[in-house]
């Protein structure tokens, strides 16, 4: 008997394919590959090593993430997308070729007082309408002039902003954000970046000098349309195994709270994955998994370590058979749509208990 526990199979071939697809969509832009949150749950060291020769820079959220890349042999530039958190970080950025976003006056003040062994490359973050981080439009000139005058800041300052509604094609907000960004930077020297995954797919005019692919690099679309519609291939296949196949009588419930009762005699399959692995707990009855070439519905509540599926009375499935929770045969975007949990959350919430298997 041999059963595999919950395993995320991560494909380097799929990753490289997605980078090539992204390059075709934005042939004139350089690429900041976004690998924050453990490369969106895909394993940051593997992902970064697999794509380093194909991209120009890596984007992370925290300094610790950047240093992990450096200690694993990644040499391309790395950008801190949220900026540095402490003035003590600045010498570390300088010696490790780590670039930083600057979005607040506190960061500007820290740079004014900093002593660094060499200048730090800075991207000025402009708030064009996301209203989360960034310098207000009327402060851009002031920030830019001050940054220009600082000895510890590289004279080649970049400009960055972020769309808040790039996947809503008809709302008019993206056009507004883009024109504010272009206006705020038009009389300044410096490379520009505003497009993350949604901007790359849907807003060609917004590709500019640098693009920042995140979710699409992993073969997942930023909306609930399957990534393959955009030429993307899922990098992760989340799998587990059947650990039991049980005869089940009509009228009998399964699982906690007895929320589902079978309308006929059937067979129930028990799959070794649950919310302790990061699979969402509150999935609607009937959410599919993929098994032996067909979809079968989840029935009953998802437990910490297991979930149950209705295999059907005539099924031939056996203990040990592989079950796919999402991946090539079952798009994660569909699971996101059914469960109301966005795909970004599905992949980043997988727990360390899920084994990771790296494949070509």
Burial (0-12, 13-18, 19+ Cβ within 10 Å), 197: buried
Burial (0-12, 13-18, 19+ Cβ within 10 Å), 46: middle
DSSP string, 74-132: --S-EEETT--S-GGGHHHHHHTTEEEEE-SHHHHHHHHH---SSPBPEEEEB-SS--S
Structure-token match 């494909």, residue found: 11
Contact indicator for 227, 234 with CB cutoff of 8 Å: yes
b/e map 73-93, b = 16+ CB within 10 Å:
ebebbbbbbbbbeeeebbbbb
Cα(172)–Cα(315) distance, rounded to whole angstroms?
51
Of the candidates 44, 351, 29, the residue with the CA atom closest to the CA atom of residue 212:
29
- Locate 113 and state its tokens: 């007082």
Contact indicator for 99, 121 with CB cutoff of 8 Å: yes
Contact indicator for 45, 274 with CB cutoff of 8 Å: no
Distance of CA 212 to CAs 10, 188, 195, 288, Å? 21, 21, 6, 32
Cα(321)–Cα(73) distance, rounded to whole angstroms?
38
b/e map 231-246, b = 16+ CB within 10 Å:
bbbbbbbbbbbbbebe
Active site residues: 36, 256
């Amino acid at each position: 008997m041999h059963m595999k526990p919950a395993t995320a199979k991560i494909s380097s071939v799929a990753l490289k394919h997605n980078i090539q697809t992204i390059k075709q969509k934005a042939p004139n832009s350089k690429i900041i590959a976004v690998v924050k949150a453990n490369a969106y749950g895909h394993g940051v060291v593997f992902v970064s090593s697999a794509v380093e020769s194909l991209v120009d820079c890596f984007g992370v959220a925290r300094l610790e993430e950047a240093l992990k890349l450096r200690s694993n042999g990644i040499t391309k530039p790395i950008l801190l997308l949220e900026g540095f958190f402490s003035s003590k970080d600045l010498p570390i950025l300088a010696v490790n070729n780590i670039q930083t976003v600057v979005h607040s006056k506190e960061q500007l003040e820290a740079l004014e007082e900093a002593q660094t062994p060499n200048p730090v490359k800075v991207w000025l973050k402009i708030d064009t309408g996301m209203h989360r981080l960034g310098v207000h439009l009327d402060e851009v000139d002031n920030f830019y002039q001050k940054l220009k005058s600082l000895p510890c800041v590289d004279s080649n300052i970049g400009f960055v902003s972020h769309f808040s509604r790039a996947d809503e094609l008809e709302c008019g907000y993206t056009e507004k954000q883009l024109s504010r960004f272009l206006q705020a930077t038009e009389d300044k020297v410096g490379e520009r970046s505003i497009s993350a995954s949604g901007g790359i797919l849907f807003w060609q005019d917004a590709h500019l000098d640098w693009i920042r692919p995140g979710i699409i690099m992993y073969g997942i679309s930023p909306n609930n349309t399957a990534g393959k519609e955009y030429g993307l291939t899922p990098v992760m296949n989340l799998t587990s195994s059947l650990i039991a196949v049980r005869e089940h009588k009509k009228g009998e419930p399964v699982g906690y709270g007895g929320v589902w009762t079978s309308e006929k005699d059937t067979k129930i399959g028990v799959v070794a994955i649950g919310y302790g692995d990061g699979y969402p707990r509150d999935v609607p009855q009937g959410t599919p998994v993929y098994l032996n070439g067909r979809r079968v519905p989840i029935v009953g509540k998802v437990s910490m370590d297991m979930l149950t599926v209705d295999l059907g009375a005539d099924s031939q499935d056996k203990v040990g058979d592989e079950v796919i929770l999402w991946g090539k045969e079952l798009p994660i975007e569909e699971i996101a749509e059914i469960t109301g949990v966005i795909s970004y959350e599905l992949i980043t919430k997988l727990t360390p208990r899920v084994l990771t298997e790296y494949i070509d």
